[in-house]
Every structure is written in C-alpha cells, then in structure tokens.
C-alpha cells in the first residue's frame, strides 16, 4: 500500500472507480456540421509490440470497468498502453432533475446506443484545470510580463489583499477565503457567475484573510480564479483565448474546451431569482461534435449546473483522456509549451512557508506531489465538482501517465491505485529483463 501521505491520491483514484449500472440522456447534441480535427496519438495496434504481456492489466481494468462509469487511459510517452470506456454519458438511475422524463423511460434512455460512454467523451476536469492556469501564469513570467513576486496591489489593485503575491496564489498560501463558502445571494445568479463578478464581490465585501499570507497552506479555489483574472488583464485576451492560443492549440488538444464555450453562460434564465444555486438546463454549443457527459451525485441523480461554473481558473475545462495525454507530452515531457526550467518549478514543491515549515501536503504550481518509496515521484491532481471525480497522474521517471475521468460521484472501489501501479511496474520490470 502507499504511505499515508498519498492517502488523498488513493481516495481521488478510488472515487473514479464507480458503478456502471446507470445511464444516458439527451443525445441531440451529438451531431454537428463542424468537423473535428484529430492529432492521433501513437496508439498500439499490437500489445505485443511493448515487449511484454499486459493481459493482467487488461483483466484488472476490465474488472474495474464493471463499476466504473467513465474513461481511463494509461500511456508511456505518447504510446497508449491501455484505453477503455465504461458506462454511460448520463446515468438515468432516477428521473430527478430531468425535464419531462418519466420513471418508465429510464431504462430505454440508459441503453440507447448513442448514449454509451465514448473514449472521446468530454468531462469536466474540475480542479485538474488548475495546472493550465498555473502554466498560463508561468508563461507570462517567462515572457517578463509579470513576476512571481508581483502583488495584487499591482495586478488587481481593487482587491483588499494588496500584499498577496502571485507565488502565494499559485501555492494556496494566501489566506484569501474560499468563494465556495460565500452566500449565493451576494451574487447575480440570474445567469452563471463569472470571474469579474467574483472580483467585484471580493472588492465590495472585503472579507478578511483567514490567516497571514505565507504562514499556512490551505487549498482555496479563490486563488486560481484570481490568477485567471491576472492572465486576462496582463495578456489583454480572454482567459479562454489565451489558454487556447498558447496551450490547447500548440499541444494538439482540439477536443478541449471551457465550460463557457460549451454552454451559453450569458443567457438569463427566466425562472432564476437572486440566490438561486443551480440550473438544470443550459444551451449546448451545436458546434461541439463530441459527446458531452453530465455529472451525477452519489445516489445516481443528475447533478445540476452550479452557477459558479462560469468562474474559470480553478476549474471549468472540459476534455477527454487522449487530449490529456497530448497535454502531458507537450508540457511535461517535450517542453513544447514552456522551457524546462518553468515546468521543473511547477512540478516540485513550492509551498514552503515563511518560517521554513513544510506543510504535510506537497504542492507545486497547480500540481500535487508525492514521493512514494514504492513508485517514485508522482505528480498528480484530482478533480471533484458537479458530480465529476477525476484523477490525472504523471510519473516523471518513466513518463508513465494515468488518467481516470468519471461522471459519477460515488466512493466505491477502495484502494485500487496502488494495485494498478504495482501491475504496471511489474510489467515494466518484465519488459527490461
């Protein structure tokens, strides 16, 4: 088993290993006149070409697939070792939160052929999105437009946290309160809340710091939402455009989008009132040709869209497993997107506190880190939001990558991540004999 420090990693992985006895939904968005251009990975057509028998890994993955609702991929460099999809785009287990769906229709909707899970299906990455925000900030630093020591007093001067630095935002050591805990009635929730509205709320409410900046590590989504605003103000582009131009495009991630591109976040919902938290319906961009999943709660009911979905930087990216392999290769392995120096900084501990104390959790820039005595350095991040539970993991020593994307928020299947790594390591060891 992995040691205590990797407990969070195990939990995030476990939460992705979920039941596949639920279902699908409206598939009217699956067709479009706009073609999707793919940049193929070096997919293995013959597993024997790796030099070892991976039957044990296949059997193990498919056994998990009996409970997993989502997609998984395991790769080394840009070579896919294993790729699977299990379950459904939507889990019609209950008709709760669906419009005009009767209980008698659930099985038919669940088993509709178009509604099976696809390898190319798009998932909300949730907090896995943070590494893209960090990369955008580091690119601005590399270009000399900002520095890690620049303060909010310089970059977002209307905020009351003028001495907080960019580095403290990246490492969750600011003390700025978690916006998830703010009351919804202080926002205009007739549509989705965006970053600018969050900035105005922070300016108006003037919440005090929860602790002096730099003295504690506490994971706060507010930090990365503010970083996205910094990217916009410094670059002169929208956050979405900047990330597309500098990361998605160059990495060949043609199937990766922001929530704000998939959904009409500017539309005002007639039934909404001040303080409304969720909306069940949203216009889906017809130009997106890939199947789009919806998240689900532990009981299998549909997770409604949270009004905070319009806030980017801390979350908000939709992608699939193959594009995440493209990202890892372009950013962490080939250094196509940023010089190696900056990538190395991002993937090493950066959250040392002012007094020199090392927090129990090791955090780089948008990345969690774990030095496992069994498996070596693991660079990873989980994603939990709106019924999604995901895990992205990269091991630098051999460029091993594991991605689990799940749209079922269920804590089934305990303690499987260590077993997967053990199987892979045994296979790699056999390959080198």
CB 6 within 8 A of CB 262: no
Mean pLDDT lowest among 28-32, 237-241, 409-413: 28-32
Cα(48)–Cα(72) distance, rounded to whole angstroms? 20
The answer, yes or no, to whether residue 268 has pLDDT greater than 80, is no
Q: Residues 6 or more apart from 394 whose CB is under 8 A from it?
A: 328, 332, 378, 379, 380, 400, 401
202 three-class SS: helix
Computed on alpha carbons and rounded to an integer, the radius of gyration of the chain in Å comes to 21
The CATH code of domain 4-129+252-431 reads 3.40.710
Q: Which residues of 63-92 are buried (b: 16+ CB within 10 A; e: fewer)?
A: ebbebbbbbbbbbbbbebbbbbbbbbbbbb
Angle between helices 221-235 and 130-142 (to 10 degrees): 40
Q: What is the pLDDT of residues 91-124, one digit of tens each?
A: 999 888 887 888 999 999 999 999 999 999 999 9
**Cα→Cα distances 417→8, 17, 246, 402, Å:** 11, 10, 32, 10
Half-sphere exposure of 8 (CA within 13 A, CB side): 17
What pLDDT is recorded for position 55? 77
Q: CB-based contacts of 120: which residues, under 8 Å, 6+ apart?
A: 255, 290, 291, 320, 322
User: Is the pTM value of this prediction over 0.85?
Assistant: yes
pLDDT > 90 in the chain, percent: 64
Mode of pairing for the β-strands spanning 42-43 and 362-363: unpaired
* Residue with tokens 């059997």, as numbered in its chain: 59
36-45, 78-87, 158-167, 183-192 — which one is most confidently predicted on average?
158-167
Is the pLDDT score of 26 beyond 90? no
Domain spans of the chain, in order of start: 4-129+252-431
Give φ, ψ of 281 to 5 degrees: -125, 150
Given this model, what pLDDT does residue 32 score?
28
306 in helix, strand or coil? strand
Nearest Cα to Cα of residue 321 among 290, 287, 343, 288: 290
* Residues 329-362 pLDDT 10s: 999 999 999 999 999 999 999 999 999 999 999 9
Per-residue buried b or exposed e for 312-348, using 16+ beta carbons within 10 Å of the residue's own CB: bbbbbbbbbbbbbbbbbbbbbeeeebbeeebbebbbe
pLDDT confidence tier of residue 276, bands split at 50, 70 and 90: confident
Range name among 26-30, 245-249, 347-351 with the lowest pLDDT average = 26-30
pLDDT digits (tens, 9 = 90+) for 219-234: 999 999 999 999 999 9
The predicted pLDDT at position 282 comes to 66
E-state strands within 172-329: 257-258, 278-279, 305-306, 317-319
């Amino acid at each position: 088993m992995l040691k205590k420090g990797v407990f969070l990693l195990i939990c995030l992985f476990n939460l992705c290993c979920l039941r596949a006895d639920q279902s699908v939904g409206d598939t009217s968005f699956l067709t479009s006149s706009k073609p999707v251009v793919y940049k193929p990975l070096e997919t293995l057509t013959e597993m024997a070409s790796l030099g070892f028998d991976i039957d044990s890994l296949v059997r193990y993955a498919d056994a998990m697939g009996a409970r997993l609702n989502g997609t998984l991929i395991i790769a080394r460099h840009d070579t896919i070792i294993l790729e699977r999809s299990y379950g459904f785009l939507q889990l019609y287990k209950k008709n709760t939160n669906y419009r005009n769906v009767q209980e008698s229709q659930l099985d038919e909707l669940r088993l509709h052929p178009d509604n099976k899970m696809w390898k190319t299906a798009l998932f909300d990455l949730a907090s896995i999105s943070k590494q893209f925000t960090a990369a955008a900030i580091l690119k601005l630093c590399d270009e000399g437009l900002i520095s890690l020591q620049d303060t909010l007093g310089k970059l977002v001067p209307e905020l009351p946290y003028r001495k907080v630095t960019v580095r403290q935002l990246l490492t969750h050591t600011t003390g700025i309160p978690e916006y998830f805990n703010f009351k919804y009635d202080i926002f205009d929730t007739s549509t989705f809340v965006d970053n600018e509205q969050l900035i105005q709320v922070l300016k108006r409410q003037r919440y005090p710091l929860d602790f002096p900046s730099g003295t504690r590590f506490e994971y706060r989504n507010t930090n990365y939402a503010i970083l996205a605003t910094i990217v916009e103000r410094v670059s002169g582009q929208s956050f979405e455009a900047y990330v597309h131009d500098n990361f998605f495009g160059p990495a060949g991630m043609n199937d990766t989008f922001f929530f704000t591109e998939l959904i009409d976040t500017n539309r005002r919902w007639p039934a909404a009132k001040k303080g409304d938290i969720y909306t069940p319906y949203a216009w889906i961009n017809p130009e997106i040709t890939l199947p789009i999943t919806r998240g689900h709660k532990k009981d299998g009911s549909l997770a409604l869209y949270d009004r905070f979905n319009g806030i980017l930087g801390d979350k908000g990216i939709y992608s699939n497993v193959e594009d995440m392999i493209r990202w890892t290769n372009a950013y962490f392995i080939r250094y196509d997107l940023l010089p190696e120096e900056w990538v190395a900084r991002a993937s090493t501990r950066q959250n040392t506190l002012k007094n020199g104390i090392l927090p129990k959790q090791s955090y780089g820039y948008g990345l969690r880190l774990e030095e496992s005595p069994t498996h070596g350095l693991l660079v990873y991040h989980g994603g939990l939001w709106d019924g999604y539970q995901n895990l992205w993991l990269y091991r630098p020593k051999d460029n091993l990558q594991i991605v689990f994307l799940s749209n079922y928020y269920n804590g089934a299947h305990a303690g499987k991540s260590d077993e997967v790594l053990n199987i892979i390591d045994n296979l790699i060891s056999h390959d080198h004999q």
